[in-house]
Copies of this chain bind each other. A is one copy, B any other.
Amino acid sequence: MTAIIESVPNFSCGRDPAVLAKILAPLEAQRGVKVLDYSSDYDHNRSVVTVMGEPEALLEALFQSIKVASELIDLREHQGEHPRMGACDVVPFIPLRNADLADCTKLAEELGERVGCELEIPVYLYESSARQAERKNLAKIRKGQFEGFAEKIQQAEWAPDFGPAKVHPSAGCTAIGARMPLIAFNINLNSSDLAIADAIAKKVRHIGGGLRFVKGMGVELKERGIVQVSMNLVNYEKSAIYQAFEMVKMEAKRYGVEVIGSELIGLAPMQALIDSAIYYLQIENFSADQIIEHRLLEGADDE
């Protein structure tokens, strides 16, 4: 089966649809690549694009797209609420099918090499592709933002992984790396007390002693008069949806509060939901090949 990789490039451009259209064009034109979604935020002045495709085709289209962004976006004139350091700020590669994080890191390195050499934009490898522990976390790399990087990039420990040790005058720097698909999963409580949702989130998330690959916080849903535990599951294979769900239920009990529902935001891999079905239904020796759709995907490549 052909490998399929997802990417979610973030561009520092959220107010001019004509510019975004030009940035999207190479992704939309490339055979073997499909733009699934894009959205722009005016306040953040940022656009997030979701795209998937075969590895080499995706790499080529992303390179062209980053090139267009570097020509059309000038960070010296950019203002927005979202932290940013580059015209194309960050490019994650996410394994979807017949690929793993190592394959995605190879792609990240190839793209980093081209962006660094051909466009002269400094590139930092982040997340799974980071070559130094302090570069795993994107927020740490981006700290100081575009304006602070002229000085930061001079420090030996912040020399880029690819490209010149000199910020591109208008396009800044770019972070590229492999990561697992991220699942946004929110659990609603029959309470309007934000402090309760916050306290539950703190017990469930990694930083508070909870599940290794769960981030979370309390959020108020004012229209519905309830609160929710809003989570990001950053590795559903290791910290599963059902684990997060059961841990929230467990913590809610001590406040006499109940879970009244949940929401899955955006896309999730089939396996993440299947894993929960298998847990609750106690299915023994299940194989993904038993799912008819897997056979359809295999079949699709045969013709």
Partner pick for A264 among B96, B261, B286, CB 8 A cutoff: B286
Q: Given the complex, which residues of B lie within 8 Å of A281, measured CB to CB?
A: 241-242, 245, 262, 276
Instruction: Say whether A280 contacts B280, CB under 8 Å.
Output: yes
- Interface on A for B, CB 8 Å cutoff? 4, 6, 31-32, 34, 36, 52, 96-97, 181, 188, 241-242, 245, 259-264, 266-270, 273-274, 276-278, 280-286, 290-293, 295-297, 299-300, 302-303
- In the complex, what distance in Å separates the CA atom of A31 from the CA atom of B303? 7
Instruction: Say whether A270 contacts B293, CB under 8 Å.
Output: yes
- In the complex, what distance in Å separates the CA atom of A263 from the CA atom of B260? 30
Nearest chain B residue, comparing its CB with the CB of A279? B280
Q: 17 A-B pairs, CB-CB below 8 angstroms?
A: A34-B295, A34-B299, A96-B292, A97-B293, A241-B281, A245-B281, A259-B282, A260-B282, A262-B284, A263-B285, A267-B295, A268-B292, A269-B293, A270-B293, A274-B277, A277-B277, A297-B300
Instruction: Say whether A267 contacts B284, CB under 8 Å.
Output: no
A258 to chain B, nearest CB (A): 10
Instruction: Say whether A262 contacts B277, CB under 8 Å.
Output: no
Q: Given the complex, which residues of B lie within 8 Å of A286, measured CB to CB?
A: 264
- In the complex, what distance in Å separates the CA atom of A270 from the CA atom of B277? 11
- In the complex, what distance in Å separates the CA atom of A280 from the CA atom of B264? 13
A230 to chain B, nearest CB (A): 14
Give me the 8 closest cross-chain CB pairs, A-B, nearest first: A300-B300, A280-B280, A273-B277, A277-B277, A276-B277, A270-B293, A261-B284, A34-B299
Stoichiometry, copies per complex: 2
Nearest chain B residue, comparing its CB with the CB of A6? B292
- In the complex, what distance in Å separates the CA atom of A271 from the CA atom of B292? 10
- In the complex, what distance in Å separates the CA atom of A4 from the CA atom of B297? 12
Q: Output the residue of A261, A274, A293 with the most chain B CB within 10 A.
A: A293
- In the complex, what distance in Å separates the CA atom of A292 from the CA atom of B32? 16
Q: Output the residue of A31, A96, A261, A277 with the most chain B CB within 10 A.
A: A277
Instruction: Say whether B280 contacts A276, CB under 8 Å.
Output: yes
Instruction: Say whether B269 contacts A292, CB under 8 Å.
Output: yes
Instruction: Say whether B52 contacts A295, CB under 8 Å.
Output: yes
Known A-B contacts: A263-B283, A300-B300. Give 20 more (CB < 8 A): A4-B296, A34-B295, A34-B302, A36-B295, A52-B299, A97-B296, A259-B282, A261-B282, A262-B281, A262-B282, A263-B285, A267-B291, A267-B292, A268-B290, A269-B293, A270-B293, A273-B277, A280-B280, A293-B293, A297-B297
- In the complex, what distance in Å separates the CA atom of A269 from the CA atom of B285? 17
A44 to chain B, nearest CB (A): 23
- In the complex, what distance in Å separates the CA atom of A36 from the CA atom of B290? 11
